[in-house]
Amino acid sequence: MSTASIALPTRPATGFARGLRIFLTEARFEFTRLFRTRAFSLSVIGFPVMFYTLFGLMLNRGQSIDGVSVAKYMLGCYAVFGALGAALFGVGVGLSGELSAGWLELKRASPMPPLAYLLAKCTTAMAFGTIIVSVLSALGIAFGHVHITPLEYARMIGITIAGAVPFASMGLAIALSVPFNSAPGITNMIYLPMSFLSGLWLPIKFLPAVIQKIAPALPTYHLAQLMLGALGYPKIGSTISHWFGLLGFTLIMLGIAWIAFRRREQNS
């Protein structure tokens, strides 16, 4: 066997620059693809916009909670709701589909760095979250007499982007552990109750005591508290505890995803 004469490329195969370039292309096409997929982009942006218009702007006009107008309070809540939807449906359901169709297998057989693929999906969720927060803010300012300073807006964007990480991790865990056919259904069964239980639709303090006890187990609760804090609403618990809550949830989800991935590998 004269394999010695076949030289492998001398160029380092896994350079950071190469990975970054692939990630950027991957992210650009992932965003383009999802934006063009009307069923995704219209519903993921449309739902929070519709709910915010209805519950934050049309009902409860001129009311306030603890000195902050309902329109501004709800802006924070629906921003979290929007970020959650973008990540769960974009990353979770999207990945699950590509996994079941064999597309991911083709990608894995190619020299694409797997991390570039995952980060591209996560970044796309961040981009959709940013769009949603911006649309909601514009609606609030235009129709709900909401006053937000540039700093508050910047904080909301920052929290939305950070929030995409735990939600995308949850999407990854769902995609890897649930059969494709049931992924959209299961995602909805997590998306909607989780939003309600963490006070995204009704302020948490108006919810029954038992729900207030469950809520701290949910990443949406912590993200909502951070978001409300950024908008000048007195939040429950300390900032650092919420960040740790999100970090803990992310690690648990990545752990579940890892176990599910290992199990798939062994069966493949």
* Alpha-helical runs (H) found in 91-218: 94-100, 103-109, 114-143, 150-177, 183-197, 209-214
Of 4 and 210, which has the nearer Cβ to another protein?
A: 4
* Alpha-helical runs (H) found in 37-101: 38-51, 70-87, 94-100
Look at residues 247, 221, 232 and name the one whose alpha carbon lies nearest to residue 155: 232
Of 61 and 108, which has the nearer Cβ to another protein?
A: 108
Q: How far is the CB of 28 from another protein (least distance, A)?
A: 9
User: Which residues of the shown chain bind another protein in the complex (CB under 8 A)?
Assistant: 1-6, 8-9, 11, 13-14, 18, 21-22, 25-26, 29, 32-34, 36-37, 97-98, 100-103, 105-106, 108-113, 266-268
Q: How far is the CB of 24 from another protein (least distance, A)?
A: 9
Look at residues 70, 244, 56, 84 and name the one whose alpha carbon lies nearest to residue 163: 84
Q: How far is the CB of 38 from another protein (least distance, A)?
A: 9
Of 113 and 248, which has the nearer Cβ to another protein?
A: 113
Of 33 and 147, which has the nearer Cβ to another protein?
A: 33
Q: How far is the CB of 1 from another protein (least distance, A)?
A: 5
Q: Rounded CA gap, 198 and 89, in Å?
A: 19
Q: Rounded CA gap, 258 and 264, in Å?
A: 10
